[in-house]
Structure 1
């Protein structure tokens, strides 16, 4: 697996930032690891974090929508593994579209850390497991926290300029 193009995840001071983590329970071995790694990254960065569980990926958007009303950012985590039917495509497309709409409607960072993979091994390799090539729980949390900080900078700059 290539990490080409992956930015360096610099530590951020997320003091004063509240973030919710919404995680599906399907593929529990993967999702539990993603959830734990995201929570640990938030705590390491100084954010206030709360974790919530939903049954599957299709339940994530509605929980994210509610969380976005109360938190500065939301991280969505799950794992959808391709099967032999088009269901995989329907789930992945609808969840991604839902999360994007929530982010735009709420003007809050909604980090999509939902793995969409062909095999369980691919999911393990992205889950932050020992020896894994990637750590999508940490990456999604880092993206959410950084985006909160960037949005605050944009608002501050606009305010300074009277915009």
Structure 2
């Protein structure tokens, strides 16, 4: 399915659980702040829309996407009552292989933290070729990856609670 043809933040085809019983943390990267700020706002708005109380959303900022895994690990170590952690960041392709190393490290790190703590840790990191692609996915024509990460967190928290 071609992303260019679709708003990815349309959830009309699925049921989203009520979030009033859950507690979430959001770790957001400060690098590419214009983009990550939009992702963050989308995630918070979506959680609130689906019943999560504002007092049940904890937020932390980290310097860049690379630090998201460490932040998620610290949050889960210090706050046993969390049902999921949402990691939000943006890595834009540059002229060097730095992009590849960072994207791979963040994806692996988020996965490892989730497995370590047996809690959902959501990968809400944009990995785009340019600034326009990032803007298109941070509230632009392709929706907001922050919304998608929040919906994923709600669904995974509900799954964990049901098991």
Instruction: Detail structure 1 runs of 4+ shifted over 4 Å in the superposition.
Output: 4-7
What is the CA RMSD across the aligned residues, in angstroms? 1.7
Provide the rounded CA distance (Å) in 1 between the counterparts of 2:114 and 2:32. Answer: 25
What are the equivalent positions in structure 2 for 1:105-116 lying under 5 Å apart? 105-116=116-127
Counterpart of 1:26 in structure 2 is 31
Provide the rounded CA distance (Å) in 1 between the counterparts of 2:15 and 2:92. Answer: 30
Question: Number of residue pairs matched?
Answer: 152
Q: Does 1:118 align with 2:126?
A: no
Q: Higher relative CO (CA 8 A, sep ≥ 6), structure 1 or 2?
A: 2
Who wins on radius of gyration, i.e. which is larger?
Answer: 1
- TM-score normalised by structure 1 residue count: 0.87
Unaligned 5+ segments in structure 2 are none
Indicate if the aligned counterparts of 2:26 and 2:58 stay in contact, CA closer than 8 A: yes
Q: What CA deviation, in whole Å up to 9, does each residue of 1:28-72 have, x standing for no partner?
A: 110100001101111112222122111101111100111123211
Counterpart of 1:65 in structure 2 is 73
Counterpart of 1:158 in structure 2 is none
- TM-score normalised by structure 2 residue count: 0.87
Provide the rounded CA distance (Å) in 1 between the counterparts of 2:43 and 2:159. Answer: 19
What are the equivalent positions in structure 2 for 1:37-48 lying under 5 Å apart? 37-47=42-52, 48=56
